[in-house]
Structure 1
Amino acid sequence: MNLQNGFLLSYIKYGENDAVLHCFTEEDGFQTYFVKGIYSKRNKKKALLQPLSMLSFTINPARGNGIPSVSGFELVKGHDLYMDIKANTVIFFISDFLNQILRHENKNPGLFFSIDEFVNELACKNYQCHLLFLITLLKIQGVAPLINDGIYLDPETGTFSDRASHQLFGEEISSIWKTALFAENLYTTKVPNSLRKDFLDSLLVYYHYHITDFKIPASLEVIQQIFE
């Protein structure tokens, strides 16, 4: 039995009362846990199952070929994000995103801290922070663009050049990328409202080229509608 802090990325109901949790933990990276009885009528802990909640799990080791089970969990850090429709939409989008790309990620303190930092930014009503967090992830994964004197970002090569190579990566969008990559505090980068959709689309194109088996998150359509 051990204690493990982790961000909840997703959960799936299993049977009548149980659930399978996918989490990114501080000590062991991406983990899958089984929690028994969470959906029973007397169990009030199911209210804590919110995407990107930081939870402290009490873990029992797996038996045989099974997965570790959770005998209890507590909220480590909570925010009033889920009553704010914009923040709630961002949280679901990023948790959906992370649940896909972190499946094989081991312990990574920098990544764990960056998720916490992102949630704090969102709690301060920085509604563009998800866009910049996706660049932070690219940096941590070691596939962020290389900065040079070029004007246009080439998403396939990850370099800037003097000639546009993709319709989404015009001068304005490429400039936002470069500003964010240069910034000491990436979250101070301003993304104009009129360019947020195109900038997000450019991020997804870049991920397609540089993250193996990347798929567009199912929640993309919702977040685009909210920020139109």
Structure 2
Amino acid sequence: MLHLNGFLLSYLKYGDNDCVLHCFTGEKGYQSLFVKGVYGKKSKRKAYLHPLAELSFTMYKNPVAGSMLPVSRLEPVQGSKVPHNIKANSVIFFVADFLNQVLRNEGVNPGIYAETAHFLEELNGNNFRAHLIFMVRFLEISGVQPLVGPGAFLDPESGSFTENKVHDLFDAELSAIWKEILSGTAPYTVAIAPQQRKAFMDSILVYNHYHFSDFRIPASLEIVQQLFQTDGH
């Protein structure tokens, strides 16, 4: 019997009552799991299906690459909490969409798992810029972060700071925020003004295009961008 804990990234209804879950687990990395009866009339488990919910899975065999094993037991991890207000939901759907794309070939990675948990803690504390900082931290953990240097402008293609501006989006102001997040000891406290957040998100997506092959913009970006115009935190 195998026990896994994982963050739910996406799910798809299969037939009338069953479901396929895509998760990033602490023990096995990215996994696709099959759960029977989730949508049955008497099932309470469909309430657990929320992006980035941390769930505990029990199955009778180890998963094999390319296969989906049926989950015999599904329940929330004790003490885990996903915020459910409208702003937090927008952020969570976006981050789950992003992770579901970039982690599909990822094996065990304790750093990413722990950072995802930390991000959720920040969001539970109403830090509505946490997703921006999380995405930069993801670059660090993945080993493709910019190399901090004395230059004032970030070159997204080379991943270095230069003396001259090489990309319209990466001006001195946004480049300074990148540098502060990358070099600071408490990145989630870095201030990003509401009016800067759309441009900063765009800069992260541009950087990802250069450093992740076949990167696509998450479909939920338009929803989360609404935060930049209304949020003052």
* Shared fold per TM-score greater than 0.5: yes
Give distance in 2, aligned partners of 1:150 and 1:203. 18
Partner of 1:227, secondary structure, is helix
In the other structure, the counterpart of 1:79 is: 81
The answer to whether the aligner puts 1:59 opposite 2:59 as a matched pair is: yes
Structure 2 length normalisation: TM-score? 0.94
Counterpart-to-counterpart distance in 2, 1:178 and 1:68: 43
SS of match in other structure, 1:127: coil
SS, match of residue 226 in structure 2? helix
Query: Which blocks of at least 5 consecutive residues in structure 2 are unaligned?
Result: none
After superposition, the C-alpha distances for 1:125-150 in whole angstroms (9 at most, x for unaligned) are 00000000001100011000001100
Q: Which runs of 4+ in 1 moved over 3 A?
A: 62-66
Query: Shift of the alpha carbon at 1:93?
Result: 0.4
Q: Residues 112-151 of structure 1 correspond to what in structure 2 (within 5 A)?
A: 112-151=113-152
Q: 2:169 matched to which residue of 1? A: 168
Query: Cα deviation per residue 1:165-212 (whole Å; 9 max; x = unaligned)?
Result: 111000100000001111101101111111000000000000000011
Shift in alpha-carbon separation, 1:63–1:95, aligned structure 2, 3 A:
closer
- Cα drift, residue 63 of structure 1: 8.6
Q: C-alpha separation between the residues in 2 aligned to 1:65 and 1:193?
A: 43
**2:90 match:** 89
CA contact (8 A) 2:53 2:82 kept: no
CA RMSD of aligned residues (A): 1.4
Q: Where does 1:5-16 land on structure 2 (aligned, <5 Å)?
A: 5-16=5-16
Most deviating of 209-218 and 56-65: 56-65
Distance 1:138 1:70 in 2: 32
1:208 aligns with 2:190: no
Share of identical aligned residues, percent?
50
Do the aligned residues in 1 keep the contact of 2:156 with 2:207 (CA within 8 Å)?
yes
Confirm or deny that 1:3 pairs with 2:3: yes
